[in-house]
Amino acid sequence: MKEEIFVSGRMNQLVDPHLHIWHWQISLYLFLGGMAAGILAIAALYYIRGREKDYRTAVRITPFLAPLLLILGLVALFIDLRHKLYFWQLYTNIKLQSPMSWGAWTLMVITPVSFIWCALHIRDIFPKWDWKFKWLNDLEYFLNLHKKTLAWIMLIYAIILGIYTGILLSAFNARPLWNTSILGPLFLTSGLSAGAAVTLILSENKAERRQFARIDLVLIGIELFLIIHMFMGFLASTQVQIEAAKMFLGGEYTVSFWIFVVILGMLFPAILEILELSKYHIPVLIPAVLVIFGSLMLRFIVVYAGQMSRWLY
């Protein structure tokens, strides 16, 4: 038997007895950022493919949520900082090795782009909108001319934002649960799935709803594949990662993860969407809200569980 104790009584706040430096702010931000990334990526993709008329809600209406989600996420991030007044130091340099630096710069691009996208579609919400100033009208005309370029920028940065929410965590090799490259694609897929679910709720067009139910179904399939893949990877890896996986396979996060994320957030909505697609009438709100809830729970559980996983010594 091996027993280790701190004889000097180390009890650093937020670090001992196990790390708990990041709380709801980070989880919430990862969720909001991921969902905004999903919404913007889908809008940009369908615009670029010229399907604006078929999927009007996804391209023109749902993106109105994105700036709101991003701003809320940024507020959460700001609350999390402990040296708040120095936050601008993020923008005094670019550190390519630090995912957080990447994220800060990505947000610097995608947030204004999402505002511009909304400004270009403001007449879909307020039909009589007038910019009042001539230069604003000129600017709108100019941006409308280059809308495709804008859509490409939005698509690329939305994907970077979606992946980065996962890579942010996977860059920490000190926390074996996070230290898997699957986390990037998993969070991106989860964000896209939440984004598709928002359109599913807002859309009033039957054909569009069917399409987004189908998209959600495919994304849930990919998510399940990635989750299985992630656990296979953990179990075939070193002792520390086996210990990390055990938290979900019999350990303290087993119930919350498999029930809230996998069953309620993925399997159950998938079944409901299959029923919907095969002509049964299901209130669309139920699977969509469950998908969004599952996406939120995934971030919370991964952020909290990751901080409990550690190197054994």
Partner 1 sequence: MRYAMAVDTRKCVGCSDCVVACQTENNVPIGFCRDWVVEVMDGTYPQLEMEIRSERCNHCANSPCVRCCPTGASRFTEGGIVVVQRSVCIGCGACIASCPYDARYPHPDGYVDKCTFCIHRLRKGMSPACVDVCPTKCLSFGDLDDFHSDISDVLKRRKYKTLIPEAGTGPHIYYLI
**In terms of CB distance, is 87 or 129 closer to partner 1?**
87
**How crowded is residue 134: how many other Cβ atoms within 10 Å of its Cβ?**
8
**Smallest gap from residue 74 Cβ to partner 1 (A):** 13
The answer to whether the CB of 279 falls within 8 A of the CB of 265 is no
Residues 6+ positions from 74 with CB-CB distance below 8 Å: 29, 107, 111
Residues 6+ positions from 108 with CB-CB distance below 8 Å: 91
**In terms of CB distance, is 62 or 241 closer to partner 1?**
241
**In terms of CB distance, is 105 or 225 closer to partner 1?**
105
Euclidean distance between CA atoms 24 and 146, whole angstroms: 39
**In terms of CB distance, is 147 or 310 closer to partner 1?**
310
> Which spans of this chain sit near partner 1 (rule: CB under 8 A)?
1-16, 19, 21-22, 80-84, 86-87, 89-90, 92-93, 95, 97-101, 103-104, 171-175, 238, 307, 310-311, 313
Give yes or no for a cis peptide into 17 (omega within 30° of 0).
yes
**Smallest gap from residue 106 Cβ to partner 1 (A):** 12
Three-state DSSP at 249 gives coil
The region, left, alpha or beta by phi > 0 then psi within -120 to 50, assigned to residue 84 is alpha
**Smallest gap from residue 15 Cβ to partner 1 (A):** 5
**In terms of CB distance, is 181 or 254 closer to partner 1?**
181
**Smallest gap from residue 69 Cβ to partner 1 (A):** 20
**Smallest gap from residue 184 Cβ to partner 1 (A):** 15
